[in-house]
Amino acid sequence: MSTLTQSPAWLALRAHQMVMAQQRLRTLFQQDSRRFEKYSLSFDDILMDFSKQPINQETIDLLLALAHQQQLKYWIDRMFAGDKINSTEQRAALHIALRGDQPVYTDGEDVMPAVKRVLSQMTRFVSAIQSGESAGYTGKKITDIVNIGIGGSDLGPAMVADALKPYWTHGVIPHFVSNVDGAHLSQILQRLDPATTLFVIASKTFTTQETLANAHSARTWLLAQGAGENDIARHFAAVSTNRVAVEQFGIDPDNMFEFWDWVGGRYSLWSAIGLPVALAVGMENFHALLAGARELDRHFATAPLDKNLPVMLGLIGIWQINFFGATSHAVLPYDQSLHRFPAYLQQLEMESNGKGVTRDGERVDYSTGTIVWGEPGTNGQHAFFQLLHQGTQTVSADFLAPCRSHYPLGNHHRMLLANCFAQSEALMAGKSAHAVRMEMEAQGLDAESIRRLLPHKVFVGDRPSTTLLFNQLTPTTLGALIALYEHKVFVQSVIWNINPFDQWGVELGKQLAGDILNDLSREQLATAHDASTNGLINHFKSHH
């Protein structure tokens, strides 16, 4: 048994869960007319309502005791101080510096001058592209940006660019290619004019197989369309920590945007990895995105834990995962602009906290990072919500919605929000057998039909959710929302005593793919693997 699961705070929560599991949420609401006020928090224009979670004041006190026991405040301070909290890679985790305005030291050096230098380089580059001063090889203005990257070098900027579409007012359209499947690049290039297209090759390491393959194919395409070798410099930029590899690829060093090993890939959208976003929405809006995150960082670093949004969001997740046995977490944005948010959070949460050993290398005996998934409402309602309402799994859910839409269209936004609120209400309150019976009787159904149908129509309720409402999806609010989830992930990692900033679990597959690529290119049949893998390789070779 680990020290965590035997600790006083953990054991107290386990005992308390047995009590709370007997409570009906709708009864808790009936008993306390101030439940919403008591169990919701605000930060700027973000309202976080967690009153539909199975909690009372004692739950919060016990969760906070767990946070104190696990030294949450100490770890928050260490992150902000630039300590090397990513211990397996001996690195700091300083995404907060990318949007900061105060000196931050790591290895005795203030990182802020370098951060500001790259932001200034981005400003010059963005202005030159947007004004047409830096044009394509025929002299025409660049109109399309293709970001080639994967994982953190794709999901963050792609999600943000999409979410901020109303701010694409600079005549530059961003596109994102990540998959090594040739379909991805080909389908995007089919629509583009090489003379007006700029490729941004985004890769922290500049060694990622998928990204380099796509980058080489993009280069080949440009040359095949009439551009010369000398034109490459006008059409390629790179964002990376690996200057040598960027130069080897042939990208003009003036078009290379640096970032640093203290920025994790999935935490990098605030760095020059955000370049396609800045090109589409302008530097002013990019700065607003950073400012939103910076304010949330301040809140995280200074607010008391019980009033701290990321802390409470993280602790509620712990309550669900470790004490109520939630098997997954649904992220349900009632905002079409956030349709890539669940995919972005999948990497953030699952790559960060999908770990099976503690910081000290001990195997854990408790659940850590959960499965994150989701789709925008209302689409999800007509697909998987059935399982949320009546299935046998415990799924916790976050609803996210703006009060104002960027796209006022008739009564659409009211309808959207009505559905959002209706779903969390239905999940929480359910529908009792008595209510179902009354309804069917009123409809005039006979006794036999009522008996037969009743069990199918009952909703047990008590399905937990948290709702995040914000005024409008502006760059500032989006920055704050993303930072909220980044810090939530950190809070949970501290409770679980795991390192959220490494990702060793992705290495084995990469290594084996290299070997198998060689097998696929050889004449001889593969024999070096297990029978299944050999069989699949050889089947592919004979059908390719």
Residues annotated catalytic, as ranges: 351, 382, 510
Footprint on this chain of ligand F6P (rule: CB under 6 A)? 149-153, 203-205, 208, 211, 265-266, 351, 503, 506
Q: Residue 12 pairs with which residues in a beta bridge?
A: none
Cα distances from 401 to residues 263, 338, 340, 481, 500, in angstroms, run: 29, 9, 14, 11, 28
Nearer to ligand F6P by Cβ, of 39 and 267: the residue is: 267
Residue type, 538: N
Sequence length of the chain is 544
In degrees and rounded to multiples of 5, residue 146 shows phi and psi of: -110, 110
> What one-character DSSP code corresponds to residue 320?
I
Largest Cα–Cα distance of the chain, in whole Å? Answer: 83
Minimum gap (Å) between residue 502 Cβ and ligand F6P: 9
* Residue 184: CA count within 13 A, CB half-sphere: 18
Examine residue 533 and say whether the peptide bond preceding it is cis (omega within 30 degrees of 0).
Answer: no
Q: Would strands 197-202 and 144-148 be described as parallel, antiparallel, or unpaired?
A: parallel
Q: How far is the CB of 84 from ligand F6P (least distance, A)?
A: 18
| Bridge partners (DSSP) listed for residue 372 | 329
Q: Is the dihedral of CA 475, 477, 479, 485 positive or negative?
A: negative
CA of 21: how far to CAs of 59, 111, 220, 330, in Å?
12, 48, 61, 21
* Contact between 257 and 263 (Cβ < 8 Å): no
Residue 268 Cβ vs ligand F6P, minimum distance, rounded to whole Å: 7
- The H or E element containing residue 105 is strand 105-106
Closest separation between CB of residue 257 and ligand F6P, Å? 13
DSSP 229-268: GGGHHHHEEEEES-HHHHHHHT--GGGEEE--TTS-GGG-
CA–CA gap between residue 237 and residue 279 (Å, rounded) = 12
CB of 115 to ligand F6P, least distance (A): 18
Beta strand 371-373 pairing with 236-240: unpaired
**CB closer to ligand F6P, 203 vs 492:** 203
